Structures are given as C-alpha cells and as structure tokens.
Structure 1
Amino acid sequence: MTEKHTPKYIHGYLDEEQERLRHQALVIERPIYDYIDFSEYKNLLEIGSGVGAQTEILLRRYPQLQITGVEYEPKQIAKAEKNMQELGYTAPRVQFIQQDAKDLQLSEKYDAAFICWVLEHISDPVQVLHSMKPSLLPGAKVVITEVFNATFYTYPEMPTVKKYWQIYNDYQVEIGGDPQVGARLGDLLEIAGYRDISLRSGGFHLDSRNPDDRNTVITYWKNLMSSGAPALLEAGLIDQKLLLKMQKEMDELKARKDAVFYYRFIQATAFA
C-alpha cells in the first residue's frame, strides 16, 4: 500500500500560522463577504476548510447555514474543531471531514459550496471542481475567491519586497500551485461544467485617504509573506538577511504618509 503524503503547503502548519489564518480572515472579511449572499441556502460544503477561519465567518453571517468542511490535513481539522467549540458551534451546525478534495466521497448533497484561498495550492483545480459537483444539488450556488498575485503593487516600489514576492510566487508554482489562479476561475468553472458564471475583482487600493486601513493591510501582508519564510529558507531560496530586509521595507512602507498599497483578488459565482 502506497503511503499518502501531505502536499507541500507554502504557509506550513505551525501554531502561529494557524492563528494568522484566523486573523487574516477577519482583516479581509468585508472585501470578500460583503459581496456574497448565502441567505437563501441551508446546507453548505466548504472545500479546504483549514482551521475554520472562513467557516466561523460564514456561521456568524448566516445563522441558518449548516456547514460541512472538507480538509486534507488532520492537524488543521483538530484546530478547526477546537476553534468552533470555543465559539459555541457544534454539530449539526458544523462538521469537518478529512478527505482529498480531488477525490471526494460524500454521502450528503449540498445546495451551496464555498472555496476561499484553496485552489492556488492545488495542481489540478479543475479536478476539485469536477470532484465536488456530484455532491451538489441541481442549481447549487458556488462561490470561489482566489488570488491574483501579479496585481500586487506598492508605491514606492520596495526592491527587496518585490524580490521576495517573486521568489514566494515562483516557489508556489514549483510545488504545484498557481499564484495567478484567480484570473482563470471563469475558464476552470466552464471546463468543469458549471453555468451562469460571473466574475468580480475585489481587493485593496489604499493610500493617504485611509491610512489606518492601509497600515492594517500592510501589516497583514508582511505577516502573509513571512508565513512562507520557513519553507523558503528550507528550500534555500532565501536567507535570514533577505527575510529581515523584506520585513524592514514593509515597516518603512507603513511609516510613509504617501504609501500606496494595491492588490486584487478574483471572486467567481456559478451554479451547478
């Protein structure tokens, strides 16, 4: 019997990373969820539920939802279950199942599905979209939010930040992911046979008019990039000096009154 190995994941599974995921979800909650409406749905399938960072937002915003989260990594499920219990969420409102999203074997049918920051880590995202389709009721609503990392821009441009971001994204590709997958969501859903596909671009364009929001997002982004450091260091792609210089430049950016931060993600809505 061949042993299954957890696919490489740029952010890793350290305790501090698990907490960062929850903080990240809250920092960027509004740009994602203000444009989502699951109020008419009851039974939602979340693919790649991780530590439950998005799950808790969905449960809070939609009290009628029952959510099944599918996650590959057992350590993430254990943390998600602990997080939900602390928030007072238990079955049947929420449950987590350990399965490979590319080969789902689910007994229930769902009238909605949600994927957020997951397909970027998967070598064949169409396989995931195909795999979940038999578990969706006819007309089920699907919402997917994904990265488009080529859109990242700061003013002024910070040379080490730019270099680090390129290394970070190149490594994502090397381990089988796609840091630009958001741009392909329409095609991926079309190939997988979904209908009524619509796309929107969301994200941040923050400058001196909103310094508090800008600084919050710059800090978040510094932490996001730093979360990839253990993997990049282990792979020999960066050294400690480069990491510290990147972090210093992000702090310098935050300190500038004329700083600009720009980034777009892509959100797709479709129906089974």
Structure 2
Amino acid sequence: MTTETMETTRNPNPDTAYVHGYSPHEAQRLGDQADTLADLLHAGTAFPAGSRVLEAGCGVGAQTVHLLAASPGVRLTAVELSADSLARARERVAAEAPGTDIHWHHGDLHELPFPDGSFDHVFLCFVLEHLPDPVAALAALRRVLRPGGTVTVIEGDHGSTLFHPESPAARRTIDHLVHLQAEAGGDALIGRRLHPLLTKAGFAQVTVRPRVVYVDDARPALVEGFTRRTFIAMVESVRADALAAGLSTAEAFDRGLTELRRAAEPGGTFLYTFFKAVAVKPQP
C-alpha cells in the first residue's frame, strides 16, 4: 500500500543544493553505491514490525529498498524535496519491494507536517552533507520523533580517502568536489562531525561508529561497485562545474581523474570511511 502527499517546499529549486545533480546517471550511481554498500552500512539497523519509521531525504529510493528489506513490516514514511527523485524512488520501491506499507511525502524535512512524536525511529543517509544547517535539520527531525525513539544517521567524509598509487593531482581533483559542495552550502567532510552535531541538536546517548570500505585486487566487486562506479563517478560528475568555477583546467582535472583511476587498476588500493551514528531523543 502506498500513499503520497504533496506539500509546498521551502526551496523552489532543490537542484541548486545537490552538488551531484539529478541526472539519470546520478540516480544509477546512487543505486550502485547503495547496493554495493548495503551490508556494510545497514548492518545493525533493523526496526520492529509495526514501527513508525521516517526516512528523511529518501532521494531516488536507493537506501529505501534496503531499509525495507532489513525491517519487514515497518510503517515507513519517505520524505524527499526533489519531485523527480521522489518519482524515481516510487518506481524503484514498486519494482524491488512491491506491496510494502509506505507513505510518500514530497516536502522539506525542515517543515514536516506531522505532529510531535509521530515516529518511533528516524533514518537518514547522505542527507546532512548537503544542508547548510545540519543542526536545524536534526532538530526538526527530533520534533517528530517520540521520546525514547532513535535516529540513525550515515554520512561519508571525503577527507578519509586513502589510495595507492598516491597522487597529488588526484588529491586536488577530489578537493574540487569538496570545495564545490561547500560553495553549495554543504560539507563533504561531515562524517567526522556527527557526534557534536547530534549532541547540539538535543539528542542523547550518541554513538558513532566508523564503517570502513577497503578495496584491492582481492575484492573485484568493490573495485567495480565502489571505487569506479561510486567514488570515481562522483568526482567525475563535477568536472563541468569545477571548470566553470575556475577551480581547474580541463587538462589538470582529467589528469587527476586518470591518476585516481589507477587505484582501481591491478595493484591499486582504495580506502574510504563512512560514519554511522545512532542517538536517542531524551525523555521529557
């Protein structure tokens, strides 16, 4: 069973805040990332059947299908600001998790129309990194969470990237992505800040655990699914914006990409750290 509500959003042009854009290629990259990392990122996250769960910023539904698979029988509400992404999410869930109990809401997570304490659990993955005020977003989500309920937050941190062969040119190309995300109001290094952000937003019992992805020749599925189709594809997607902003020349950007791709070639290695936080809304 699925339902949907349409609400007025705060941002009439959400594309300006999402540095990676809303292309079909980006939707595919998000799906590749979610499928490749599902066991790593979703391990330990399972909500009881009948629980009222809010997924804030569901995007194209890449994480939604894994959330539903790990928690059968939950009453899920998925919120997304981009109407196009929400439509893709509905299509993905209909194809991969048909018959699930999900309520779709098109709107801004800062202005949710739900009463205080409407949900038992809140889940958000790769959302805070794109927001100019993550504490305000977390506080808005805390309002709709019942006392004693939990919030689960997953974010990356591009500063955690290690690769071999090492390359200053590849580092500079990654830094262009970090810079562009900051210019858009986000923070590509937010993973390391989850504990203070959740604490400042009024949550208690905050626990943060790193989830490390390490890739070498012995892990060919991760070489393709993560190093190439997730991380390198993400960096490559901002090429035009980096050139337009004057951050790099075409030659320098492409050299950095070429050297970064060596981490996915025989003899190369790649490491990246995600941060997963769980916290509780205190009892009054």
Q: TM-score, normalised by structure 2?
A: 0.86
Deviation at 1:137, TM superposition (A): 1.4
Does residue 38 (structure 1) correspond to residue 33 (structure 2)? The answer is no
Number of residue pairs matched by the alignment: 268
1:194-233 C-alpha deviation (Å, 9 max, x unpaired)? 111111011223345x342452322132112122334334
Structure 2 unpaired stretches of 5+: 1-9
Match of 2:127 in 1: 118
Match of 2:236 in 1: 226
Q: Is the 8 A contact 1:143 1:270 kept in 2?
A: yes
Alignment counterpart, residue 95 of structure 2, candidates 64, 76, 86: 86
Distance 1:214 1:71 in 2: 28
Deviation at 1:243, TM superposition (A): 4.2
Whichever residue aligns with residue 260 of structure 2, its letter is: M
Match of 2:34 in 1: 25
What is the identity percentage for the equivalent residue pairs of Structure 1 and Structure 2?
27
Higher mean displacement: 225-234 or 72-81: 225-234
SS at match of 1:199: strand
Distance 1:18 1:81 in 2: 13
Whichever residue aligns with residue 94 of structure 1, its letter is: I
Within 5 Å, give how 1:1-272 maps onto structure 2. 4-6=12-14, 7-39=16-48, 42-90=51-99, 93-107=101-115, 109-208=118-217, 210-216=218-224, 217-219=226-228, 220-257=230-267, 259-272=268-281
Q: Is the 8 A contact 2:65 2:97 kept in 1?
A: no
**Distance 1:211-1:136 versus aligned 2 partners, 3 A rule:** closer
1:99-141 C-alpha deviation (Å, 9 max, x unpaired)? 1122222248111110101100000001111111221112111
Q: Is the 8 A contact 1:51 1:77 kept in 2?
A: yes
Deviation at 1:3, TM superposition (A): 7.8
SS at match of 2:212: strand
Whichever residue aligns with residue 183 of structure 2, its letter is: E
Q: Is the 8 A contact 1:103 1:128 kept in 2?
A: no
The 4+ residue runs of structure 1 with deviation greater than 4 A are: none
Structure 1 unpaired stretches of 5+: none
Distance 1:233 1:84 in 2: 36
Q: TM-score, normalised by structure 1?
A: 0.90
